[in-house]
Amino acid sequence: MQELTKTINAMKGVSVLVVGDLMLDRFVYGDVDRISPESPVPVLSITHEDEMLGGAGNVVSNLCALGVKSAVFAVVGNDANAERVLEIARSYGADTNGIIKDASRPTTLKTRYLARHQHLLRSDSEKTFVCDAAIEKKIADGVAKAIKSAKAVVLSDYGKGVLSQSLILQIIKLAGEQKVPVLVDPKGNDYLRYKGADVVTPNRKELAEASGFANLKEDADIVTAAEKIIQSCDIKCVVATRSEDGMSVIGAGAPQHLKTQVREVFDVSGAGDTVIATLAAVLATGADIVTAAKIANIAGGIAVSKVGTTPVRTEEILESLAESSPHLALVADDAKAIEQLRKWHAKGLKVGLTNGCFDILHKGHVTYLAQARGECDRLIVALNHDTSVKILKGPSRPVNDQDARAAVIGALSSVDMVVFFGAEKAGADNTPCALIEKLKPDIYFKGGDYKLSDLAEAKIVQAYGGEVAIMGLQEGYSTSAIIEKSKTPSR
């Protein structure tokens, strides 16, 4: 585990090139309450939309989430969606100088319509003809220049016309001259297109189709199919993704079969992009393919537990590595907390939130948190950060710093996530109101003798339709009392 952790941390700052089919993924969310009177189809009442990069763009977003320096070479249209693609890619920190606009085609757009995360329809807007020779030359020239400082190349082939066989072979030749590994996310059945590549990453179905072998259920079946690809197509290594059965590495010594970490599969879209991005990032550190596959296997398991094509961050991989240790709640920033709530809500779970300093954990705290957890499926503790505690309690507090308090609270089985909040200076808002407005928990718990009308938090929760629960506190227990008692000499 220590070596894997070291390798994961080494991914930050390495350089990876991505060449392939770039697209825009649009997710349209809403509710369905009726059937259209015009025809027997559901009427989607749209509530909100999300946009993210798809195809090669999802590889880029995953690389950027891992801290990798990513440069992308691709083709988009000369349209508004192209500008949106460029805007998103730049916001990730990717180098977009290799993205070429082609007025003869639209930017590939895939729009998915969902009702409460139930997929209703997908519509595609695209042209898939092969790019003309002038555009191909621009891409090849750009790759030839950029590859001198790169440590790995990903060919993300979605069959949209960017990766012609000619361009693929040019890039593999350029990479070979620089001793840079080339990884391919393949498309179609003809893997001779990728002759000379270091790694191809088919899923079980793709491997079966390309090898001509059906029913690839057992490890031995996967090995036989992969070895046929390696021998007939002059490919060095096959990393086959096998859904719930994990991942197999064939071609680098004895075959390795990696079991997946058991997770609830929530959305498989984009998981292959996460796997190849992680493989490339690890290989770019100089690690071997088996180590890369072990880390990519973890990342792929995280990816399928997310909603939509959401990239996997380095921190998530490290957290997953540590999951075999005793219960520890996730300590999250606001963005990570919002993402986790999205997943919990999509699973139909009721999420509660409470807040406090929890400076010295005592029986009253433990009892209160256990009671709150009994009223919801997941419990978040919003923890006053150190400056916030000083404003509330005075310069001698907190007794324990915020990281120590988060570690103790997070070790309780009743707590599922810890998020810091609070004012940075006296006179500023020192309540969890802003955090509650961002997270929108289903139920907000407050301990003590309060009236709803006295709580600013209650007004926010009720405004979005949430519930507020005033919970009683155990008499005789308080942090202040414990501190005072510790100052009294024992008799």
The side-by-side arrangement of strands in the sheet containing 253-258 is 95-101, 69-76, 15-20, 152-156, 182-185, 199-200, 237-241, 247-251, 253-258
DSSP per residue, 23-82: EEEEEEEEEEEEE-SSSSSEEEEEEEEEEEEEEHHHHHHHHHHTT-EEEEEEEE-SSHHH
**Average confidence (pLDDT) per 10 residues, the chain, 491 residues:** 84 96 94 94 93 94 96 97 97 97 96 87 95 96 97 96 96 97 95 96 94 89 95 96 87 87 54 93 96 92 71 86 61 89 89 94 88 92 96 92 92 92 95 96 88 89 94 62 58 52
Cα separation, 167 vs 184, in Å, equals 13
Q: Which domains does the chain have, with CATH numbers?
A: 2-324 (3.40.1190.20), 330-487 (3.40.50.620)
Distance from chain centroid for Cα 1: 21
Identify the residue whose tokens are 């978040």.
Answer: 380
Burial tier of 290 (Cβ tally within 10 Å: 0-12, 13-18, 19+) = middle
The side-by-side arrangement of strands in the sheet containing 22-35 is 42-55, 22-35, 108-115, 118-125
Dihedral (CA of 391, 396, 400, 403) sign: positive
- Read off the pLDDT of residues 440-475 as tens digits, 9 standing for 90 and up: 999 999 987 778 888 999 999 999 999 999 987 655
**H helix and E strand count, the chain:** 17, 19
The pLDDT of residue 347:
82
Containing 2, the helix (H) or strand (E) segment is: helix 2-10
- Rg of the chain (C-alpha set): 26
Q: Are 151 and 145 in contact (CB under 8 A)?
A: no
Which pair of tokens denotes residue 126? 């695209």
Q: Are 107 and 77 in contact (CB under 8 A)?
A: yes
Q: Are 398 and 359 in contact (CB under 8 A)?
A: yes
Q: Looking at this protein, which amino acid is placed at residue 54?
A: G
Q: What is the DSSP letter of 311?
A: P
Cα separation, 467 vs 390, in Å, equals 30
Q: Looking at this protein, which amino acid is placed at residue 212?
A: G
Cα separation, 288 vs 282, in Å, equals 8
**Length of the chain as a residue count:** 491
pTM of the model: 0.66
The pLDDT of residue 474:
57
Residue 273 known to be catalytic: yes
- Read off the pLDDT of residues 271-311 as tens digits, 9 standing for 90 and up: 889 999 999 999 999 999 999 999 999 898 887 766 556 78
Total Cβ atoms within 10 A of residue 169: 15
Where residue 366 falls (left for φ over 0; alpha for ψ -120 to 50; beta otherwise) is: alpha
- Work out the angle at residue 436's Cα, subtended by the Cα atoms of residues 427 and 333, and round it to the nearest 5 degrees: 90
Catalytic residue among 25, 95, 273, 359: 273
Cα separation, 298 vs 4, in Å, equals 11
DSSP per residue, 355-404: EE---S--HHHHHHHHHHHTTSSEEEEEEE-HHHHHHHH-TT--SS-HHH
The pLDDT of residue 284:
97
User: Alpha carbon of 333 to those of 419, 421, 464: distances in Å?
Assistant: 6, 9, 22
Identify the residue whose tokens are 């072998």.
Answer: 213
Identify the residue whose tokens are 């954990």.
Answer: 361
The pLDDT of residue 308:
59
Give the CA dihedral 431, 435, 437, 438, nearest 10 degrees.
170
Identify the residue whose tokens are 């089919």.
Answer: 21
Q: What are phi and psi of 453, to 5 degrees?
A: -65, -20
Cα separation, 206 vs 361, in Å, equals 54
> Residue 200: CB partners within 8 Å, gap ≥ 6?
183, 184, 185, 186, 191, 194, 229, 235, 237, 238, 239
